[in-house]
Structure 1
Amino acid sequence: MKKMFQNMVRGISGVVFPNVCACCGLENTEHQRLLCSFCLQERFEDANPDNAPVSSDIILPEGVIAQHALWQFDKGGDLQDLLHLLKYEQLTGIGVDLGRELGVRIKKHSLLKQKLSFFPAVLLPVPLHYLKFRYRGFNQAFKISLGFQQVWNDLSICDIKSVVRDKNTRTQTGLSLKRRRQNLKNAFKVKKPAEIKDKLVVIIDDVFTTGATTFELAHTVLDSGAKEIVVLTVAQA
């Protein structure tokens, strides 16, 4: 009787409050997900269809073996809207969905699949300064990492207190590459080196632009004993 009532309530709520995709607005049949299969698999432009070591035209710094973005950033488009909903409207499930899709995509990248399958690795969401974390209430990079971990469930996520953002930097928007690097200099600190020592550290963020943030973080963890770095993001601007 109880189960029948629960099914009836679920059926009514599906009519009154239909489960729709946060991107296209159409009915979403994916249980407990905010994005439909079509939007995740077909809507956006692949940033690295050839599975090259980098999805941008940037030269990787020493110790960073690969940089991969899932999709090309579409300024003013659907992907930018999704990332805005994630960061500023607190639709954190979007981050999990995007991270899961990123994890599935890496399964098709021969170099990264091999590295993540056979080398000791740990996921490192780009840390937020504690003031920004307190204001926002969550770290979008951590939500993306949670989704990624659902696909690569043998990988752990760095404890939030292991690697921190010690410097509350101003926004990077509108800054030149030189100013971005100056803005981020010594921004991060490793407080528990044992978590990253001799491991492949997979840095995860939402958008890759110039690499200033992720490469500064990479430099910090390499100096603290990490073996190699991979940078993974949802979008590439």
Structure 2
Amino acid sequence: MLFKRLTEGILEILFPKVCTVCGLRLATNENFVCNNCLESKFEEAYQPGKRSTRDIMLPEGVYLQHALWNFDKGGYLQEVLHQLKYNRLTGVGEDIGRQLGKSMLRHPEFMNRVKGRKVRLLPVPLHPKKYRMRGYNQAFYIAKGVAEVTNLHIIDKNTVQRIKNTGTQTGYSLEKRRKNIDGAFKVTVPEKVKDVLCVIIDDVFTTGATTFELSSELKKIGCGEIMIATVAQA
């Protein structure tokens, strides 16, 4: 034990942990993104008193669409999400997920709606082929952070599956996005979501094509109500 502590101390001196965003040394209670960056580096997207971040028309069954920060193309947030999505920095997902969870707890519409209900967090599923290539689902780690601060449970794995490998939707028009994502999801264990309030978790909300398609499948099998929560709003 003493040798382990000594080794860890030496490594901390030689290779100190630094914030993924600002590069400054992390405090002992910080993980991958420092508290200062989490609290003040990014622009908040939430607009008090509204059920969607940018007055988006929500489809039937979707009660709330909430995003934590505004996406900053070419900026720090884009880089953080890139590191999470492609470079296996899953701890970053948990850090920003905790921050998303805190913002959800401050959202009066969210709190009023979930009170006394059976609620499950649903990370947007990856297609098996993409999962094998990447090795993980970034939305799951965001949901893990959300779960930690909200005490909500993540829905059982494989309850909902992605059955269509859509690839990236970047650069597509809204119509092309909707056509591309049509029929992409399947609820394989309906009893797990029937009459449940599902909170869909993802990294970025752009046009809503993906999360709205997933919402549509949930409603078909009797999901009680749906909310959407993302780290960023593009």
User: Relative to structure 1, is the Cα distance of residues 173 and 13 closer, same or farther in structure 2, using a 3 angstrom cutoff?
Assistant: same
Is 2:181 aligned against 1:184? yes
> Could you tell me whether the CA contact under 8 Å between 1:196 and 1:221 is conserved in 2?
yes
Structure 1 position 58, deviation (Å): 1.2
Is 2:215 aligned against 1:218? yes
Is 2:209 aligned against 1:193? no
Structure 1 position 107, deviation (Å): 1.0
- Hey, what does 1:159 align to over in structure 2? 156
Structure 1 position 76, deviation (Å): 0.1
Structure 1 position 170, deviation (Å): 3.1
Give the whole-Å Cα distance in 2 for the aligned partners of 1:104 and 1:198: 25
Deviates more, 1:107-116 or 1:198-207: 107-116
Is 2:100 aligned against 1:90? no
TM-score (norm 2): 0.96
> Could you tell me whether the CA contact under 8 Å between 1:19 and 1:28 is conserved in 2?
yes
User: Relative to structure 1, is the Cα distance of residues 51 and 29 closer, same or farther in structure 2, using a 3 angstrom cutoff?
Assistant: farther
User: Relative to structure 1, is the Cα distance of residues 17 and 122 closer, same or farther in structure 2, using a 3 angstrom cutoff?
Assistant: same
Give the whole-Å Cα distance in 2 for the aligned partners of 1:113 and 1:29: 31
The aligned runs of 1:128-167 (5 Å cut-off) are 128-153=126-151, 155-167=152-164
Give the whole-Å Cα distance in 2 for the aligned partners of 1:11 and 1:234: 34
- Hey, what does 1:205 align to over in structure 2? 202
User: Relative to structure 1, is the Cα distance of residues 172 and 224 closer, same or farther in structure 2, using a 3 angstrom cutoff?
Assistant: same
> Percent same amino acid at aligned positions?
50
Deviates more, 1:46-55 or 1:180-189: 46-55
Give the whole-Å Cα distance in 2 for the aligned partners of 1:98 and 1:118: 26
- Hey, what does 1:25 align to over in structure 2? 23
- Hey, what does 1:63 align to over in structure 2? 61
Give the whole-Å Cα distance in 2 for the aligned partners of 1:231 and 1:172: 18
- In structure 2, runs of 5+ residues without a counterpart are none
Could you report, residue by residue, the CA deviation over 1:35-91 in whole angstroms, capped at 9, with x for unpaired residues?
Answer: 100110110000014252111231000110000000000000000000000011111
Give the whole-Å Cα distance in 2 for the aligned partners of 1:21 and 1:117: 35
- Hey, what does 1:12 align to over in structure 2? 10
AA matched with 1:220 = E
Give the whole-Å Cα distance in 2 for the aligned partners of 1:159 and 1:135: 22
Could you report, residue by residue, the CA deviation over 1:209-237 in whole angstroms, capped at 9, with x for unpaired residues?
Answer: 00000000000001111011000000000
Could you report, residue by residue, the CA deviation over 1:75-118 in whole angstroms, capped at 9, with x for unpaired residues?
Answer: 00000000000011111100011111100111111110222332
Give the whole-Å Cα distance in 2 for the aligned partners of 1:147 and 1:30: 18
AA matched with 2:175 = K
Instruction: State the SS of the aligned residue for 2:81.
Output: helix
AA matched with 1:47 = A
Deviates more, 1:43-52 or 1:125-134: 43-52
TM-score (norm 1): 0.95
Structure 1 position 7, deviation (Å): 3.5
Instruction: State the SS of the aligned residue for 1:61.
Output: coil
Name the count of aligned residue pairs. 234
- In structure 1, runs of 5+ residues without a counterpart are none
- Hey, what does 2:51 align to over in structure 1? 53
Structure 1 position 121, deviation (Å): 0.7
Task: Give the CA RMSD over aligned residues.
Answer: 1.3
- Hey, what does 1:79 align to over in structure 2? 77
